[in-house]
Structures are given as C-alpha cells and as structure tokens.
Amino acid sequence: MADHVVHVVPDPVRQPVEEDLTFEDFFEREKVRLFRALCLMTRDRALAEELTQDAFVNVLERWDQVGRLEDPTGYLYRTATNGFRNWHRRAILGAKRTLRLEPGEDGIAAIDAQDAVMRALAPLPRRQRAAIVLVDLLGYSSEEAGRLLGIRGGTVRTHVARAHEELKKWVGAR
C-alpha cells in the first residue's frame, strides 16, 4: 500500500495567534473582513460600518484581556453579531411602538444592485444569512459559528442546509 503524504495548508481566513499582537495590528488585519461580513448579514453598509466600529471599540476597551485570548477574532465577531442582534431587536421594538406596524421591507434597493452575493443572501432569514456567512464565506466550523451566534453547532448546520436549499432555488430561477 502506498504511503500517503498529508500536507497541512494554513487556513487563509484566520491568522495564527501571535504572542505580541497589538490592537492596531489586529484592527488592520480584521477590519475589512468584519465589515464585509456585516454588510452581508445586515444588507446595509451604513449599519455594517457602525456595527464594525462599535465592535472594535468594545474590543479596544477590553484589549488587555481580549488580546490574550486564543482567538480574539472570535470575540470580535461575537461582539459584532451581538451588536447586530441588539440593533435588530431595538429597531423592531421602536417600529412597533412608534408606528404600530409590523416591520416591512428593509430597503435592499439602497444596497449596490451589482452585488450578486448580497442579492442572493437577501431573501434568507437573518439567522440563516449569519450562519452561511460565518461558515461558508469566513470558514468557521459549525461549532465556532454557533459560539459566535449563541446557538448550538447543530442549529448552525440546519440553518446552513436550509440556506443552501434556498440559494439553489434562487440560482435555478436566474
């Protein structure tokens, strides 16, 4: 039987943990990826920018502890997704109180119409969209994505599978 050689290829998405990682280096390394992920999750660039800034401010305030974590990026994404969930809850509550209406369409037309990924993800429910961005686009495992979203890994796998089915329908319709 032939010997099999296994080559370990470093994960291009996540960087290895560095002993002397400064917040500035961490910010430069993660800012674009986090902003893009939040654009896909929120479908609103202004909101994504605000959530990105808030998440980094939160991390900066706790950098002495966060910088020592094995995965400070995970903490950053958890902070950002929690910020999105909180914003979403407040927006719905505010709309119900002020307008006494259920939330309607969210203005997807304001987002760049040329971005096919955003259009494909737009019809997905919020949790499916977040799960598919974290797992398929950012390369997190179901368990890691579950920790970031505050749900079980099996639930993430369910969200991703359902999102894949919806995306297949969308692609077929095109």
3-state helix, strand, coil in the chain (%, to 5): 70, 0, 30
Q: Which two tokens stand for residue 76?
A: 């950053």
Global pTM exceeds 0.85: no
pLDDT digits (tens, 9 = 90+) for 108-164: 433 443 356 777 777 889 899 889 888 887 888 899 889 888 999 999 999 999 988
Q: Which two tokens stand for residue 143?
A: 């368990």
What are the chain's domains? Answer: 21-111 (1.10.1740), 113-174 (1.10.10.10)
CA 82 to chain centre: 10
> What confidence category does residue 99 fall into, taking pLDDT thresholds of 50, 70 and 90?
low
Give pLDDT, residue 73. Answer: 94
pLDDT digits (tens, 9 = 90+) for 23-59: 999 999 999 999 999 999 988 899 999 999 999 999 9
- 71 Cβ partners below 8 Å, 6+ apart? 14, 17
- DSSP result, 29-96: HHHHHHHHHHHHHHS-HHHHHHHHHHHHHHHHHTHHHHTTSS-HHHHHHHHHHHHHHHHHHHHHHHHH
